[in-house]
Amino acid sequence: MAKKVDLKGVVKNDWENPELTHRNRLEPRACFVGYPSESALAADENLFRKNLNGLWKFRLFENPFVAPSDFFSLKFDDSGWDNISVPSSWQLHGYDYPHYTNVNYPFPIDPPRIPDDNPTGCYRLDFDVPAAWKGRRVILRFDGVDSAFHLWLNGKPVGFSKGSKLPAEFDLTGVVKSGSNTVAVKVYRWSDGSYLEDQDMWWLSGIFRNVTLIAKPEVSIWDMVVTAGLDSDYVDGVFNAAVTLANNSGVAVKDYSVAVTLNDSFGSEVFRKRAKFAVKSNGVTVVNLKEKVKAPAQWTA
């Protein structure tokens, strides 16, 4: 029989509050990299994408409450902190210890509460934002952080996220500036999400996947869903791309051009389709580009 969880009287720290899965995290979307042009894509050159992997300042504390309350401040002195590679798990650098479980939980069972013994890693990184990014929407993407984290930029709170195997994106546009910036991340080894994530595995913690800074134009492709079906005779293919266009400006766009190209397995172009759409202001618009594909190779088991 499942144990009933009583939330009354619980001190709801973010990392042990099942009613809170995130704060200011953007809606999930397909993972893709945008390029300013086809030639830039071919050369893998993107001036509007910055890799933040590398050496970050790091200090591990035995629990969230003994970590410095101002470690995210621009005035905080981290010169005495260690350097750690991001992405990585801090246990693989000699901090804390890895924990293996199969059927047992790695901590006392008292959902949604987490024990006070909750190792907490604090990270800091200074990075530069090019002047060419001015006027663009700047997004910070974490591909994986175990198990939950708070985020600050330039001393200001940005957000919070749970779900250690999920990407988390945050809009930094109102906080980021051209030139030098400082990002601070507070990572909790355990959260109430750990109750759900428990399985036969090694428990490791930290910023363990890529960290990327992305600058998007005010109107851009935000998400896409591509489906490949067949016609009623099961002979020709039916291609459809449902594209989500995001407009973060206060001005609607009447003729926004969207194009899709399908290449075969040899790199030869099968079709190229372009259409224009109206995009509403301060929101998202979903458009569809559909095309028939003559007698495609069909998947079979």
- Backbone φ and ψ of 105, nearest 5°: -75, 150
Mean pLDDT of 217-233: 96
229 and 158 both lie in a single domain: no
Cβ atoms of 106 and 149 within 8 Å: the answer is no
Tell me what the mean pLDDT of segment 60-77 comes to: 98
**120 and 30 in one domain?**
yes
| CB-CB neighbours of 173 under 10 Å | 16
Beta partners for residue 187, in sequence order: 121, 149
pLDDT confidence of residue 3: 54
Q: Which of the 8 DSSP states describes residue 184?
A: E
The last residue of one of the domains, among 193, 216, 239, is 216
Let me know whether 52 and 191 are in one domain: yes
pTM of the model: 0.92
Instruction: Give the domain extent around 230.
Output: 219-293
Q: Is residue 132 part of a domain?
A: yes
Half-sphere exposure of 232 (CA within 13 A, CB side): 0
Q: Show which of 195, 216, 237 is a domain's final residue.
A: 216
Q: Do 109 and 92 reside in the same domain of the chain?
A: yes
Task: Tell me the per-residue pLDDT of 239-266, one tens digit each, with 9 for 90 and over.
Answer: 999 999 999 999 999 999 999 999 999 9
Asked whether the predicted pLDDT for residue 1 surpasses 50, the reply is: no
Could you tell me if 23 and 155 lie in one domain?
yes
Q: Which pLDDT tens digit goes with each residue over 33-48? A: 888 888 998 898 899 9
List CB contacts of 101: < 8 A, sequence separation 6 or more.
198, 200, 201, 203
How far, in Å, are 52, 59, 77, 181, 250 from residue 73 at the CA level?
Answer: 19, 15, 9, 11, 33
Mean pLDDT value across the chain: 94
The reply to whether 249 and 169 lie within a common domain is no
Looking at per-residue confidence, does 100 or 11 come out higher?
100
**In a domain? residue 6:** no
Residue 262 inside a domain? The answer is: yes
Is residue 5 domain-resident? no
Specify the length of the chain in residues: 301
What is the token pair recorded at 134? 């001015």
> Same domain, yes or no, for 288 and 211?
no
Are residues 42 and 177 part of one domain? yes
Indicate whether 175 pLDDT > 80: yes
| Final residue of a structural domain among 171, 190, 216 | 216
- Looking at residue 9, its pLDDT comes to 52
Domain identity same for 94 and 225: no
Q: Kindly compute the dihedral angle of the four CA atoms of residues 200, 201, 206, 210, in this order, to the nearest 10 degrees.
A: -110
Domain count across the chain: 2
Residue 8 lies in a domain: no
Tell me: do 208 and 60 sit in the same domain.
Answer: yes
Shared domain for 119 and 226, answered yes or no, is no
